[in-house]
Structure formats: structure tokens, C-alpha cells
Structure 1
Amino acid sequence: MLTDSSRLRDFPSLQGRTYLNTAAESIPPLCVGQALEAYWQDKLRGMAGREGHFAAVESCREISAQMLGLTPAEVSFCSCSSEAYNLLASALDLTNADEVVVTDLDFPAGATPWLRAARPPVVRLWQAQAGELLADDMLPLLNEKTRLVQVSLISFYNGHRIDWPALHEAVRTHAPNALISVDITQAFGRVELNCPGADILISSTHKWTLGVHGGCIIGIPVHNASRLTTHAGGWYHLENAFESDRFQRAITKNGALSFSVGMPNFAALYALNAALRYVAAVSVAAISAHADPLVRTLYDGLLDLGLAPMCPLHDDHPTGILAFMHPRSVELHAALESENVHVMHSAGRIRLAVHGYNTPADIQHALDILKKLL
């Protein structure tokens, strides 16, 4: 992943193209395809294949926990982050008397369940200034009624990495009844997490972790298990799903395990198990050490071209994402794509994402095309 030879070996589809769109979709290594083939072979065995299926789930739970700094009992899976956040809403069971803080740099999956609740809580918006969320701006939003503060460790929108110590201290001091929920989708597998004290961690699986669609990781420390147990129906998360009293009561497993309400998406978890073990073997620290200087080169290059990134880059808060707005964004995006440089374009915004499989040549190629057009 980090050298020319390993990149060619593990990511042959990257040959001849510059892929700077991992914040939307990753390019999985070949071992992920091999894991999907292993799932298929187990599936062909019919019911007998479930032995392999459930073994893959537990292996994936083990490596996920290891990378999150949790125990396997504190980690579970569902199908996507949207499902996870709706299950979180079920666990919290908020009312009109409660308050939730969300940010304007968050992904909709984490911000909208509170707006759609049957008894919607008061939703308070923490707004960014110059692309950054400042803890002091959140203080007026916090009080004893605050039950949840929902943030992304790294914003999908502009790559801003939240100041975790300042956030954590502010919430614990000014909102003593609040839980902190952290979407780590744009961080997990790319930067070291370093968000101690988070009450629940949620991550999609098809971005920086190098997995595929159909999975989501949920991490809940054991001391929060009773507070964060869903009220959803189902079977896989029940202690007594097939016991004689199953039609009289439903006994839910506590905490993270309650978020796996139905049959696991085995294919996604075979893939995630292989992907996370690949990332762990390379190490997130090595990925960050390789890719962070490329982000700095890209940031400085954008500034030299008069393209202002949407938030400042702080070397002590690493991120894999840079974004800028431009009135000719459609034209810029088309020019990049025509030269096999793949980035995200949306509503005047161009977003570039740098992972461990990117190279200095990728960064220079993208900057050269932008310079030529501008």
C-alpha cells in the first residue's frame, strides 16, 4: 500500500489513474475480493456454510475491537450508519423535553434521526466558523436538558477534524446528562482515532477501512451498555429469540450487541475482516505517516493556485480530506476526470481525499491539471 511494489500488487486497478475519492468510495485491496470469494464458497455449502459465516463475524468483531481499543463484547455490526443512528434514537427514546446538539459539518445520517423522531427533541445546531467547529461556540447550546451531542471526528464535508479534548471537556462540564456520539467514518483506517471518553463510535465500512457496502461498526464501552441498548424488535440481538417465552417477552442483549437486530450481512463482514486485517498489518500510524505529508503538499499547492481550502489544515490534527469551492467547479471536475483524476464534486464543492495508496505523483498530477485549467 505504501510502496510502488505493494501498491501494484494489492491495488492493481489503481495503475494508470489518480484516485483521490476515498472519502466517498475506497479501492479495496485484492484480499477483500478473496474474502468475498470465501463467503461465496461457504454460501454454496448451504446451511453447513453458516459455520464459516459466524466464524467470520467473530473474527471481524475481534479485529474491529482491537483497532477501536475496545473488547469484542463492546463491538457489533449493522448494515449502515443510517441504521445505526436510528437504533441509537431507539435506545435513547428522547422526548420533547430533551435536547440534542448536532453540527453543520455532520453527515445527514447522524443529524436527521432526531428531526424524524415520533417525539422530536429540541435540536440545537453547532455552526462552524471559517470551516471549523469551535468549542466555545457550543457552550451556549449545552445545559442539563442536553441528552446527546452528535459529532463527526472528521467532517465528510470539508475535512475538519474536531478538537476532541475541548469538545469532551465542554460537554462533560456543561451538559452532565449528555452522551457523546462520534461518527468516525472519515477517520477509521486513515488516522489514529484518539477520542477517549466517547460514548458510542459509529463507522461505515466502504471508505477508509477499505471494505465494501452493507456494513457498519458500532462500538459502545461496557459502562454505557445499559444506557445504549436499543428497543428494536428482531431476533439476532435477543437472548430468548427461540425460547418458550418468546411471544410473551423479548430480552435484549445489552449495549453494542443490541444493534445487530437481524441476520448479519455476512458478505460485508467477510470483506471487512480482511480489509481491517490488511490495514492493521500496514498500521494506521504508517498510513498516516505516509499520507499526511501528501495532504500538506496538496493543501499548499491549492493555496498557490488561489484555491482556498474550506478549513485550515492543522498538522497536529491529521485528516485525509481537503475541499474547496469554485464557481467553475463543474469545469474543473470534468477536466480532472478527463485526465483520470477522480475526486468528488457536489454543489460547487470539489473534495479530494488522500489515503495510503496515494503517491506524490498523484498529488502533483492533480495540481498540474488544475494549474493548466486555471
Structure 2
Amino acid sequence: MHPTRERYAAGRGYLAACTMGLPADVTRAAVRRDLESWSIGAASGVDYSVIHDRARGHAATLLGRHASEIATGSQVSVFAGLVAASAPTGAEIVCVDGDFSSVVGPFLARGDLRVRHVPLAELAGAITDRTWLVSYSLVQSATGEVADAASIASAARAAGALVLVDTTQATGWMPTDSLDADVVICHAYKWLSAPRGAAFAAFSPRAIDELTPHAAGWYSGTDPWASCYGPELHLAADAQRFGVSPAWHAWVGAAAALELAASLDMTEVRSHDVGLANAFRERLGLGASDSAIVAWPDADGSALASLGAAGITASGRAGRARVAFHVWNDEEDVELTAGALGLGRRRATVSAPH
């Protein structure tokens, strides 16, 4: 059992951190205090800014960056959209075939970019001197596959290409503090267990210099409270220029959730989560993996239905059943899930996800 298990009000049979996390005690308390403060008219925009800045610092810790390299927003696709809007006409973007739409859609929507999709294992080799940007998720949402970030970064640097990485399915269960990337985007409502509506992104010096802050607003200045009115353009010199006005109530919960996550040893969390995932993979007859997500073919949805009938919260994606193991889970969850699928303690043969 992970030492933080008791901080969650629920968790038994909840295998859906890859869909939505569960709030820890500190997050629940912060949101309740905020609701009470707001309801009696004691909430303050200035106080929210202080909380937001604290959250920004914790986000920086999780990504291994300085707070000045972090911008905050609401969704992954918005940050990816800023990058897409900065791409020169005809630029080549290399993506993963079947990746989550938030890191693909903004580039396709332009209509004047050359977007190529390749299998994850071939991503590094697909980067050429013609590539302007490679955009991918560190952990694939549909399959749980973990990308070889070092090889991808090496190939991109050799070609002079920019690198965009979405860590929404990674940050919170594995270390993401040493990625070589120009833009690292994460939404905090999954493995980090923050309220939905709190996302953050790290920008390299090159990205800050070359990308245009198309969503510039009052929170894009060094001092947001002095950036409220025109006619001047108020832009921070650092990554805050890409930030947007924060959803205050979401960031109250996010500050508490990110502080807790930043205090954990992510190597230990990964060992716990992947250990449980591999124990379940063994029960399915699948080989060991380096992911906390387990996905297997379930075209007719029967496996997902069996899990739901047994009170197991799981998810289905791209014709697969999908479960995720996190800090609130333990070996009993492996047994319950295997039992729900009729596996018992016997190994079954299931074709590997592809």
C-alpha cells in the first residue's frame, strides 16, 4: 500500500486515474474553504493570485523547470493551439498515429501545415531536416505506451526541430522533470488529481523567443494587475506571456493537489503504480510493461461491462478496455479486477494491445 492511500476518501476499485483523478484530503479541504470564503463575500482576486503563483511553483517542480518557464492555462489544446498558430505556412509537423487529439487537432485545423502521423516506435526516425515540430504524448492515452523521449529529443535537436510533449498521462505517476523539450504541456485533473480546468506548460528559451502569445491578455504581463488595460501590449519576458486568466476556483484545488504531488518521490510512485499494473498484466497473460496503464482489446465492450458490473471504475478507449493503477490502489484492486473478468488466479491469454 502506498503511504498516501489514506488521504483519499475513495479508491478501492477506482482504476480511472487516466480519466480523472481523486482529490486528496488537502484538495478537498482547500476547495471547501474556498467555497465558504466565496459564499460569504470574503474571496479576493489578489488572494487567488497568490494561490495561483504558489501552484505555478509546484508545477515547475514537477516539470523540473524554474517558475519563470511555466505558463498556466485551462486546457492542453489551448497551449498546443498557440504553438500551431506560430508555425510558418507549410511547416512539417510530425505526430504519433492515434495520439490524443489535443496534440494533433490544432495542427490539422490550420489547413496549411504538412502533418505526418507515424507509429510511436518510429517517431524519432521520422524526424528530418524538413521537420519544424514533433508533437506527441509522453504516455499514449489509448494504449498506455511510454515514448522514448530521449531518442525523440536527440533526433529533433539534430534536425533543428522544436519538440512539444504532452505529459497529462504521465506527470503524477512517473518523473517528468528531465524532459528535453521546448514545450511541455500538462493538464492536472488526471494523475495529479486537481480540479479540471487547471493546466500548465513549460516553455524553453527558444520557444519563448520564437512562439507568438496569440492569447495575450491581462495575465500575460509580469504584473497581471497592472496589465488590465490598453492601449499598450503588456507581455512578460518569460513564459508567463503565454498564460491566460486562471479559473480561480480550479486553481485553489490545484495548488493543494500539486503541492502534494511535488512532495512525493515520483520514482517510488512509478514503482508502486507500474508494479500493480504489471501484476494485472500477468493475470491477463500479457508481458511486463513500463506503464501504469493497462489496455487490451475489447471491441464489443464486454470486459468493460464486466468491470462496471463488479463496481470497478475503468474506461474504454479506441476499442480497448483500459485500467490505471495509482497511489490509492493496492494488490486487492488487482485481485478484484481479475476476479471481475473471471480470471481468478489463473492466467488467461489475451492478445497484446497494438
Shared fold, TM over 0.5? yes
2:56 aligns with one of 52, 61, 70: 61
Q: SS at 1:295's partner residue?
A: helix
Q: C-alpha displacement at 1:348, in angstroms?
A: 2.7
- Using the alignment, how far apart are the partners of 1:252 and 1:145 within structure 2? 31
Mapped pair 1:294 → 2:281: no
Please tell me the residue identity of whatever aligns with 1:147: W
Q: C-alpha displacement at 1:164, in angstroms?
A: 1.7
- Using the alignment, how far apart are the partners of 1:19 and 1:112 within structure 2? 30
- Verify the 8 A CA contact 2:27 2:194 in the aligned structure 1: yes
- Using the alignment, how far apart are the partners of 2:107 and 2:127 within structure 1? 16
Q: C-alpha displacement at 1:233, in angstroms?
A: 4.2
- Using the alignment, how far apart are the partners of 1:334 and 1:280 within structure 2? 35
Corresponding residue of 1:50? 45
Q: CA RMSD in A?
A: 2.5
Q: C-alpha displacement at 1:194, in angstroms?
A: 5.4
Residues 171-320 of structure 1: pairs in structure 2 closer than 5 A: 171-173=156-158, 175-176=159-160, 178-193=161-176, 195-238=178-221, 246-247=230-231, 249-261=232-244, 263-303=245-285, 313-314=288-289, 318-320=290-292
Corresponding residue of 1:345? 316
- Using the alignment, how far apart are the partners of 1:239 and 1:54 within structure 2? 12
1:332 aligns with one of 270, 278, 303: 303
- Using the alignment, how far apart are the partners of 1:271 and 1:67 within structure 2? 16
TM-score by length of 2: 0.89
Change (3 A) 1:354 1:252: same
Mapped pair 1:163 → 2:148: yes
Mapped pair 1:369 → 2:340: yes
- Verify the 8 A CA contact 2:63 2:177 in the aligned structure 1: no
Corresponding residue of 1:2? 2
Instruction: Please list every run of 5 or more consecutive structure 2 residues that lacks an aligned counterpart in the other structure.
Output: 349-354
Deviation track 1:107-143 (CA, whole Å, cap 9, x = no partner) reads 10000111111x5210011124xxxx235xx53x433
2:75 aligns with one of 71, 80, 87: 80
TM-score by length of 1: 0.84
Change (3 A) 1:347 1:73: closer
- Verify the 8 A CA contact 2:64 2:178 in the aligned structure 1: no
- Using the alignment, how far apart are the partners of 2:75 and 2:167 within structure 1? 13
Change (3 A) 1:26 1:48: closer
Aligned length: 344
Instruction: Please list every run of 5 or more consecutive structure 1 residues that lacks an aligned counterpart in the other structure.
Output: none
Change (3 A) 1:346 1:164: closer
Deviation track 1:231-290 (CA, whole Å, cap 9, x = no partner) reads 33422214698679923x4242245212223x2111111111111122233332221222
1:150 aligns with one of 118, 131, 135: 135
Q: C-alpha displacement at 1:99, in angstroms?
A: 0.7
Please tell me the residue identity of whatever aligns with 1:323: A
Q: SS at 1:185's partner residue?
A: coil
Q: C-alpha displacement at 1:172, in angstroms?
A: 1.8
